[in-house]
Amino acid sequence: MTDHGLRIDLAAIAANWGALAGKAGAARAAAVVKADAYGLGAARVAPALYHAGARDFFVAIASEGRALRHCLPEDARILVLSGHMEGEDLTGLIPVLNSPAQFFRDRATRPGGTFAVQLDSGMNRLGFEPAEWAALRDEILATGPVLLMSHLACADEPDHPANRQQLQVFRQMTDGTGIPRSLAATGGILLGEDYHFDLVRPGVGLYGGLPFAQAQPVVELDLPVIQTRDLSPGESVGYGYTWSASRPARIATVAAGYADGLARALAAKGGLRLWTADGVACPVVGRISMDLITVDVTDLPKVPDTLSILNGRQGVDDLAELAGTIGYEILTSLGRRYPRAYS
Ligand SMILES: *Cc1c(COP(=O)(O)O)cnc(C)c1O
């Protein structure tokens, strides 16, 4: 094992799944593992979640589902959120059909095949609109969908009126069907019982991100120091010479940059720090470049071999805040070049 790279805590992911499943009461908890389990590696994450008890897995597109099919036992259901697109091989997968066109394509090419249905309760992104659903509802219900689902647009804002409105629309579209229903992702689980229905679909909360504030942190990232240099007052660092030493300074250069998902925006406002193993914070100075980040280590008695950018003190959502984005984007941007260690 290398001493740098991404450390991904599968036990913490399993614990977060268990905690969210516990909040969902009688509803079954699925696991959303799209985008390679939010960048953390679906081939390792999904089996760990299966082991924890998850049996329903959501991916975004069929190719993700096909890759995942080899990693999970047969009794795991893999649902494809983009539904049935033209020419798609859905063997072993369950498409979540999003439109009349997808429904007719699916029935024509996979007669009798298992499917779910997504309804648009207001987000205007994916799913049957109320009028489309009203027109086809009886025909679709007669062919036996395994799940009717919809997705909330504002669940991370508990007081947003859209939550209640979408809940009401979803109920109107699905009450009395007798088919299992699903509305809540991580945010929806936290909105309470009314939103849980039969199946919940947590994603980001499994990976330690907001809005699940009680989540256990899942990822740590240590970057190797590849060179250290001493600067005289007035010397500058990096592209654009945006930072200059105001005192004799020592600068460490670490091997990661925006090509590894550490966006330039992280350092634009100041406030980004890298940490020693003993918890000493060192400010990033100058611009983040494609493969390198420069850190002011003047105050360290000794420059360590690695510095940490993701840890218990500076988590995924802290980086998101610095970069003006959300934890989801930080996670899914984590580069492919890091050595990875799972525990
Ligand atoms: C991504 C996604 C989820 C998971 O959402 P989180 O906010 O990450 O929990 C659930 N359902 C659908 C339809 C999604 O697209």
Give residue 129's pLDDT: 97
DSSP 194-253: GGTSSEE---GGGGT-TT-TTPPP-EEEEEEEEEEEEE-TT-EESGGG-EE-SSSEEEEE
Mean pLDDT estimate for the chain: 97
314 CA from centroid of ligand 1 (Å): 24
Least confident piece of the model among 61-65, 98-102, 214-218, 334-338? 334-338
Sequence ranges of the domains in the chain? 10-207, 219-342
Residue 195, phi-psi category: left (phi > 0), alpha (psi -120 to 50), beta (remainder): alpha
Ligand 1 atom at shortest distance from the alpha carbon of 211: 7
How sure is the predictor about 3, in pLDDT bands with cuts at 50, 70 and 90?
Answer: confident
Mean pLDDT, residues 231-251 taken together: 97
The pLDDT value given to residue 269: 87
CA pair distance 321, 104, nearest whole angstrom: 44
Does residue 285 contact residue 251 with C-beta atoms inside 8 Å?
yes
Of 1-10, 313-322, 324-333, minimum mean pLDDT range: 1-10
Please enumerate in sequence order all residues whose Cβ is within 8 A of that of 181, keeping only pairs 6 or more positions apart, or say none. 147, 148, 149, 170, 174, 197, 198, 199
CB 261 within 8 A of CB 333: yes
Closest-CA residue, ligand 1 atom 6, reads 203
Q: Are strands 219-231 and 5-8 parallel, antiparallel or unpaired?
A: antiparallel
> Structure pTM?
0.96
Which residues does 336 contact at the CB level (< 8 Å), separation at least 6? none
CA 343/CA 329 separation, integer angstroms: 23
CA of 195 to the centre of ligand 1 (A): 14
Q: Are strands 249-254 and 273-275 parallel, antiparallel or unpaired?
A: unpaired
Average pLDDT over residues 326-335: 96
The Cα 162–Cα 120 span in angstroms is 13
pLDDT for the residue 287: 97
Please say whether the beta carbons of 5 and 222 come within 8 A: yes
What atom of ligand 1 comes closest to residue 118's alpha carbon? 13
Q: Which CATH superfamily includes the segment(s) 10-207?
A: Alanine racemase (3.20.20.10)
**Overall average pLDDT of the 331-340 stretch:** 94
pLDDT band at 158 (very low <50, low <70, confident <90, very high): very high
Contact status, residue 43 vs residue 208, Cβ threshold 8 Å: no
Tokens standing for residue 323: 């970069």
**Residues designated as active site:** 34, 239
Predicted confidence (pLDDT) per residue in 211-222, tens digit: 999 999 999 999
User: What average pLDDT does the segment 265-292 reach?
Assistant: 96
Per-residue pLDDT tens over the stretch 36-93: 999 999 999 999 999 999 999 999 999 999 999 999 999 999 999 999 999 999 999 9
CA 181 – ligand 1 centroid, Å = 15
Question: Of 195, 125, 141, whose CA–CA distance to 163 is shortest?
Answer: 195
Find the mean pLDDT for residues 139-146: 97
Output the CA 288–ligand 1 centroid distance in Å.
Answer: 31
| Ligand 1 atom nearest residue 205's Cα | 9
In angstroms, the CA 319 to CA 330 distance is: 7
β-pairing, 94-97 vs 249-254, is unpaired
- The pLDDT assigned to 1 comes to 43
Whole-number percent of the chain with pLDDT over 70 = 99
Ligand 1 site residues (CB inside 6 A) read: 32, 34, 81, 151, 185-187, 201-205
What is the CA(306)–ligand 1 centre distance, in A? Answer: 34
Ligand 1 binding pocket mutation candidate from 13, 32, 56 (most atoms within 8 A of CB): 32
pLDDT of residue 2: 62
CA dist 286 and 268 (Å) reads 9
What is the three-class DSSP state of 192?
coil
b (16+ CB within 10 A) / e for 211-228? bbeebebbbbbbbbbeee
Q: Which of 107, 101, 33 minimizes the C-alpha distance to 71? A: 33
Pick the CATH number of 219-342 from 3.40.50.300, 1.10.220.150, 2.40.37.10, 1.10.3210.10: 2.40.37.10
Closest ligand 1 atom to Cα of 202? 9
Q: Are 13 and 215 in contact (CB under 8 A)?
A: no
